[in-house]
Structure 1
């Protein structure tokens, strides 16, 4: 396990990995595609609190959640909160083909001062800034699955927390290794802040803490296969998601919007 003072050498603006965990040349190619912006100083960030707060919208079946200060260590999300603090039910589905929900673990402190001391002096997390959109995706080598079972439903979840869907964001994706999958470049360009594979973050989080300033997840029932009575894509009418998705795709690829006839 790398010592905390060595973590800077592990992530100089792009993700790297501890030696001998994976082939270095292969990993270098991967890391160049998945940039990660983080605060390199002694835990300085824009949020006034280090406690995790959660906002959720939608029914439990179809829920999306926005997490502020969501932590990640040893391949697991972690909510840090104070005893007596109300938190909504925050289980969500991150994948159209996985029926069971994702629920971050929870660590409860007796007081906020105890929580703050733990964060600032014990774990000293690396901060992943701005908005991160998290989802799982199978078969992303197929552009149909990549767009409408992965990217589109995740974007619908993002639309639920405006105006973040109009701003640059990072994508954290639970996807399989795929050499030459050009859909990954589409993911990266669509968000604007790059693509981070969860498998890479998992390797970096062994014994090391990260903190997402803002992370949104909960897109499992917005996929193309989740047929609606009106035969539209989920959220396409009530959230205007189809048009917003199309317009952002054009914009991020430098294509002019089609003329309405």
Structure 2
């Protein structure tokens, strides 16, 4: 049976199972009780890839959140491993005494607000693992997910160079992830005529998930991103540089890499 939300969970077939979650049971227990919930599934299913399995596999060796960040605080990008999501917000799970870098990022060049995940600290890793496995039982979103927010995505110029391009440059900062398929978590408004959403989906290769949809289905339900990259700061085309080049276009070869992927 093909899963109902394939663009959220991309499955690799016939791999060694480290941690399993049943997609079918989860759908039956949580998302088939009302018409609004079914409508959400239809929204998620808009940009999808066909799946080959109904088991979910956790590939990371630990359930603890780890973070790697590059760039100045004003223009920082971060790679989060095992970043959790519940009730419309990100959650870091860590152990007492573990040092984390500064992990606040800007996901939208048009606002000065920073996105700072919440944090929950456990006395030991065994406490953290027990909490994850027996209390929250999260749905795993595997592979790489790239998050950005984008106003005016009905305008293709803004959609490409003020939304998609700066986010892609953030991904380039963590090679070789930009060379492989990834999922896009987009903070965009609803727009029935915006074909930029199809471009986002095709560009990434693993589909697009609107953050507004994830917010609704995360109400009381935990999700875990195996890898999530966010933080595009002032890497947009409107963020003028003295050399008049796109930010990251020369030093990270971002212009050529973006052109070739398009």
Determine if the TM-score, normalized by the shorter chain, exceeds 0.5: yes
Aligned to 1:7: 26
* 1:7 Cα deviation from its structure 2 partner: 2.9
**What is the CA-CA distance between 1:17 and the residue it aligns to?**
7.4
* Matched residue, 2:236: 223
Partners of 2:33 and 2:242 in 1: how far apart? 50
Q: In 2, Cα distance between the equivalents of 1:76 and 1:18?
A: 24
2:200 is aligned with 1:187: yes
Measured against aligned partners, the alpha-carbon deviations of 1:50-88 in whole angstroms (never above 9, x if no partner) come to 000000001111100000000000000000000000100
- Residue 33 of structure 1 and its aligned partner are, at CA, apart by 1.5
Separation in 2, partners of 1:123, 1:188: 29
User: 2 CA distance for matches of 1:214 and 1:90?
Assistant: 14
Superposition pairs for residues 1-261 of structure 1, below 5 Å?
7-9=26-28, 19-21=34-36, 24=39, 27=40, 29-35=42-48, 41=55, 44-249=57-262
Q: 1:126–1:211: 8 Å Cα contact kept in structure 2? A: yes
Number of the residue aligned with 1:259: none
Instruction: Provide closer, same or farther for how the CA distance between residues 161 and 108 of structure 1 changes in structure 2, counting only shifts above 3 A.
Output: same
Other structure's SS at 2:36 match:
coil
Q: Secondary structure at the match of 2:44?
A: helix
Q: 1:22 to 1:118 in 2, by over 3 A?
A: closer
Number of residues paired by the alignment?
A: 239
Structure 1: runs of 5 or more not aligned: 250-261
Give the match for residue 255 of structure 1: none
**SS class of match (1:193):** strand
Distance (Å, rounded) in 2 between the aligned partners of 1:208 and 1:167? 29
Q: What is the aligned-residue RMSD (CA, Å)?
A: 2.3
SS in 2 for 1:133: strand
Farther-moved stretch of structure 1 (156-165 vs 28-37): 28-37
Shift of 1:34: 3.5
